Amino acid sequence: MTKALTETAPPAPVSQDTDLPSFETLDRVGRAMMARATNGVSPHAQTAAWFDWLSHLSRAPGRQLELALRASIFTSRLMGLATGQGNALPFTPEKSDRRFTDPAWQKPPYLYWQQAFLAQEEWWRNATRPLRGQNAKSAARVAFMARQLLDGVSPSNIPWLNPVIVEHTLKESGENLVRGVRNLAEDVHRVLAREPAAPQSGFRVGQDIATTPGEVIYRNDLIELIQYKPSTPDVFAEPVLIVPAWIMKYYVLDLLPEHSLVRYLVDRGFTVFMISWRNPTAADRDITFDVYRTQGVMAALDAVTAVVPGRKVHACGYCLGGTLLAITAATMARDGNDRLATATLLAAQTDFSEAGELMLFVDESQVAFLEDMMWDQGVLDTRQMAAAFTALRSNELLWSKMAREYLLGEREPASDLAAWNADRTRLPYHMHSQYLRALFLENRLTGGRYAVDGKVIALKDIGIPMFAVATESDHIAPWQSVYKLHLFTDKELTFVLTNGGHNTGIVSEPGHPHRHYHFATRSTGDRYVDAQTWLAQAERAEGSWWQAWSSWLAEHSNPQRREPPSMGSATRGLAPLCPAPGNYVHQH
């Protein structure tokens, strides 16, 4: 696959004058230096998007007239509000916008500032709508950047315009601002010293979280494989192998015991194995995407089948791990390898044509910019990844957080999920470049152009039952994009749509309040239905999707339960190496 991926990369410019050396390296160094300053965001891509928007808008008198009329109407509505005309508020925030939920925002003068800001948002939403002939990605990118700029000047971020901050400041005689300055100083010092975030008290890996009993039974240069100890007298014959994304630490699926998907499965009689990825360094720059398949998933699968020989395996992949699992399953199907019983994909995309707002960061200019930065560093650093994900939800992850910590003087409440989120990982240069180009930029997997070992694979070859989970508020893997798995497979597929986000929707244990999900199964031979039709027809259930998944796994397992297998297999060179959670999870 490495050959197939690298052959389509754009060739380096060659000087026409053979007497002159190539200065391409100098160009890459310059771009890499700029990328470090911008956290990998290409200014060329941003400038091109703004120019495309402005040039089209300048030649659209109809849109200009519309925007002028909207400005006049919005101004009239705001004046009517100020003079007491009308009962209903002219502008309302989006459902996901919680900046103005406090009742104090409904009182003058804060009400007027809130409404004026919402009017600006509405105007800019209309101003950045795509124009005829405009590049759709440029329009979306301009709308995104305009929203980012507006979020920064929201009255909720300005101390004297935010009634909550004013109230706290008066009530505490300014002590909240003193705490906020102290918090700011701590954070600035940590950033300048390049220190990791301080671990949250009460959430220590291996002691408070990631505590499900188990043993590391296999280790190579890329993974540790954890086998969890059984908690029931007998178990299902088929084990479960979980492939987490290497963009995150695996224990998002093994947080506090009451929030642990791993413990939930073990307590219901499943033998669970988990991959724990090593955190790469600059020395690992040349690890390829296919190495994650061969030394990751396939190596783990070999170890699992050595511990439980003669049994098929329920495989489960989360996020990028799910994409890798789909590629692995298709490759195994092509090669006649039938060791998988089922495949489960959690918030994982296989088609990237509508991959959400992350696509705003993916075009040739942006990918080349990122590649030069990673070429210089050897890895995509945790801070640079965090900046991209924060931008997708700047209201929640940036501005609201800053207002809370630096103006109200309140640190983010401690939680196991927040502690996990702060424990970030890196991505090797070569692997991430191949991933961005082959999947995000060129969408080869569903385009019939993704090759493994020199031969193209097809998701349609996967003949085992599949279970896919998407989340309603996912900014990383939008549910409509995840749903496209229906288009590229034709065997049994159970699809679940649960409320929550990319992580909170997956970590959705039974008993979690306000949880629901929709689900339906497509049988072999059923006709395709689009995502919205599916949602209208799918059955709705209250509670956690975990229960539906464990029941589905049980239905696709041998009904005759067995004695739990041994921990590892000493006779096959898989003697336990150390207790879970292992060593790789502690790497920073």
Distance, in Å, from the CA atom of 531 to the CA atom of 534, rounded to the nearest integer, reads 5
532 versus 360: the higher-pLDDT residue is 532
pLDDT tens for residues 377-386? 999 887 777 7
pLDDT for position 416: 92
CB 399 within 8 A of CB 406: no
Residues 6+ apart with CB under 8 A from 64: 57
Count Cα neighbours of 115 within 13 Å in the Cβ-side half-sphere.
20
Average pLDDT value for residue range 409-423: 88
Among 198-202, 350-354, 364-368, 378-382, which is the least confidently predicted range? 198-202
Question: Mean pLDDT score of the chain, rounded to an integer?
Answer: 91
**What is the token pair recorded at 357?**
């707002």
pLDDT digits (tens, 9 = 90+) for 64-108: 999 999 999 999 999 998 888 767 889 999 888 889 999 999 999
Confidence label for 201 from pLDDT (cuts 50, 70 and 90): low
Q: Pairing state of beta strands 313-318 and 223-228?
A: unpaired
For residue 1, what pLDDT band results from cuts at 50, 70 and 90?
very low
Compute the C-alpha angle 571/576/580, nearest 5°.
Answer: 155
Q: Which residues contact 289 (CB under 8 A, 6 or more apart)?
A: 1, 2, 5, 430, 431, 434, 435, 438
- Going by pLDDT thresholds of 50, 70 and 90, the confidence category of residue 11 is very low
pLDDT tens sequence across 111-160: 999 999 999 999 999 999 999 999 888 898 899 999 989 999 999 999 99
Please give the pLDDT value at position 98: 87
Confidence at residue 382, expressed as pLDDT on a 0 to 100 scale: 76
Contacts of 118 (CB under 8 A, 6+ apart): 91, 92, 93
Q: CA–CA separation, 48 vs 323, rounded Å? A: 31
pLDDT for the residue numbered 19: 67
Instruction: Reduce the DSSP state of residue 584 to 3 states and report it.
Output: helix
Q: What is the mean pLDDT of residues 408-421?
A: 89
Least confident of 182-191, 359-368, 457-466, 557-566: 359-368
Q: What domains are there in the chain, each with its CATH number?
A: 44-153 (no CATH), 214-357+369-377+426-586 (3.40.50.1820)
pTM attached to this predicted model: 0.90
Angle, helices 43-58/136-152, rounded to nearest 10 degrees? 100
Give the per-residue pLDDT at 357: 78
Residue 585 CA to its chain's centroid (Å): 19
Strand extents, DSSP E, 347-461 = 379-380, 427-428, 451-452, 455-456
Between 23 and 14, name the one with better pLDDT: 23
Would you tell me how many other CB atoms lie within 10 Å of the CB of residue 372? 21
527-560 pLDDT tens trace: 999 999 999 999 999 999 999 999 999 999 999 9
pLDDT in tens, 264-299: 999 999 999 999 999 999 999 999 999 999 999 999
Instruction: Tell me if residue 496 falls in helix, strand or coil.
Output: strand
**Is residue 166 a contact partner of residue 160, using CB atoms and an 8 Å limit?**
yes
Instruction: Please report which confidence band the pLDDT of residue 390 belongs to, taking 50, 70 and 90 as the band edges.
Output: confident
* Distance (Å, whole) CA 144 – CA 26: 32
Flag whether pLDDT at 397 surpasses 60.
Answer: yes
CB neighbours of 519 closer than 8 A, spacing ≥ 6? 494, 495, 496, 497, 538, 539, 541, 545, 548
Report whether pLDDT(2) > 50: no
Q: Strands (DSSP E) along 112-250, which ranges? A: 214-219, 223-228, 240-243
Q: Is the pLDDT of residue 6 over 70?
A: no
pLDDT at 7 over 50: no
Active site amino acids: 319
Cβ contacts of residue 339 below 8 Å, gap of 6+? 301, 305, 312, 313, 332
The string of pLDDT tens digits covering residues 447-463 is 999 999 999 999 999 99
pLDDT tens, position by position, 216-252: 999 999 999 999 999 999 999 999 999 999 999 999 9
Beta-bridged to residue 475, according to DSSP, are: none
- The CA distances from residue 245 to 225, 357, 402, 570, in Å, are 14, 19, 29, 29
Q: Which residue has the higher pLDDT, 347 or 418?
A: 347
pLDDT at 12 over 70: no
